[in-house]
Structure 1
Amino acid sequence: MEPIKQMPTSTRVASLLRKAILSGEYSGDEELSLTKVSNQLGVSRTPVREAFQQLSSEGLITLRMNKGAIVKSIDKKFIIDHFEVRILLECEAVRRAIKNNMDVSDLLKREQKLKNNPNESTIEDYVQVNQDIHRSIWKAADNQKLFQLCEELWNGSSTNNIYPAIEHHLKSLDEHIALLTAIQNKQADKANSIMEKHLTRSMNNLIANFDNK
């Protein structure tokens, strides 16, 4: 199976900032500094500036001339709208991936290894395989525009401030195994249903942050 290329730096930065805003780590009216963010993430200012432009187009931040950006206040409706679009796109990607005979054997092996060796796995291992599974499905859908849109909406692992992150990752691991197995068996409706439930749980995780402020 052809390896999935890493996300461009600006896309990864946008993903991290998007997750922080949607999860409430950054609050409304909080200032984001180009220099501070670039130093925190260990990247140059250019990809951070590009990430700011992307987030501005999504309505998450307001750009300030030569002064970084200001985080916009978001509500639960914003999160629901965000995930409804992700669900539409990623469920369609699953159907197309199955139609295109996606090979999930390597991804299944990686998930089984995590499941069989929980004490040897780090949070970063779960985060990476989560990203690789979703990106592999987008790529297997064989539609560049679909891939691009999914990538632009990516917000990483949707953990919340209520339960330990590992609980989310362990649930995601079981969901991923079920999803990949359904894809392997060409069960499009089942795979579609699993993906929808998987993303809906992520959405509810982020909404829970608002309910518990």
Structure 2
Amino acid sequence: MIEKQMPYKYKVYEIIKKGIIDGTYQAGVELNERTLSETLGVSRTPIREAIQMLEHDGWVVLETYKGAVIRSFDHKYLSDLMKVRTALEVSAVEDAAKHITEEYLKEIRRLFEVQRQAVEETNVPVYQFIQMDREFHLAIYKLSENKTLISLLDNLNDMICVAGMRALTSDVRRQETLAEHKEVLNALEEGDPQKAIQAMRYHMEKTTENIQQHADISQ
């Protein structure tokens, strides 16, 4: 049961989206309004509204005779997502390099150090490591001072997290990610937008390759 706080549709939206990310709701599964209503303890109206929001944001698709179905995050769809993410990440880091301050650098260095320690420990759960990764990137987004970019990347990264749950299980990839983040950090420390762009573009290329190699979650 969920707490009955207004507006219900946003609560339902977040619960279903979290379920998609953690695998509770598998690709191809139909979202039944009656079942969800009974499970979550709310009427079918906010369930229907939440499903419409999920469809709008790309989490579900509407199929004839079946209704709302969890989207299959196949290689083509993930590739399309990563192309958009790459463009936004590059834009964010370019602006960040222009706006960098010592205060922000201190925070980004701290986040990098947290991730470095996680790589050394090797037993950090994948979801926790992904959260560390997102915090590093989020610090860069905030430096860009572009609220629209931040909003777009938030939803994109939620989707890509579904693939990342498998793609970042490898200790080797975690080490590579750390090295790539170090290059981004170096560029920010130098306040060099072009170097930051190059470092982030390389990081996104390697991330895309890894997702395509390890994540086939359409089954």
Please confirm whether the aligned pair reaches a TM-score higher than 0.5, indicating the same fold: yes
Is 1:178 the counterpart of 2:179 in the alignment?
no
How far does the alpha carbon of each residue in 1:162-199 deviate from its partner, in whole angstroms, 9 at most, with x for none? Answer: 77343332321221122112111112122112212222
Which residue is equivalent to 1:3? none
Aligned match of 2:142 in 135, 139, 146? 139
User: 89-98 vs 101-110, which deviates more?
Assistant: 101-110
TM-score by length of 1: 0.69
Residues 48 and 205 of structure 1: CA distance in aligned 2, closer, same or farther (over 3 Å): farther
Aligned match of 1:119 in 108, 121, 128? 121
Residues 116 and 207 of structure 1: CA distance in aligned 2, closer, same or farther (over 3 Å): closer
Name the SS for the 1:70 alignment partner: strand
What does 1:45-124 correspond to in 2, within 5 Å?
52-62=51-61, 69-102=68-101, 103-116=104-117, 118-119=120-121, 122-123=124-125, 124=127
Alignment RMSD (CA, Å): 4.1
Q: Which runs of 5+ in 2 are unaligned?
A: 1-9
- Report the structure, 1 or 2, having the larger helix content: 2
Q: Which runs of 5+ in 1 are unaligned?
A: 1-7
TM-score by length of 2: 0.67
Which residue is equivalent to 1:5? none
Percent identity, please.
23
Separation in 2, partners of 1:161, 1:151: 19
Name the SS for the 1:159 alignment partner: helix
From the CA coordinates, give the structure whose radius of gyration is larger.
Answer: 2
Residues 115 and 121 of structure 1: CA distance in aligned 2, closer, same or farther (over 3 Å): farther
Residues 109 and 49 of structure 1: CA distance in aligned 2, closer, same or farther (over 3 Å): farther
Residues 179 and 54 of structure 1: CA distance in aligned 2, closer, same or farther (over 3 Å): farther
Separation in 1, partners of 2:209, 2:55: 24
Aligned length: 197
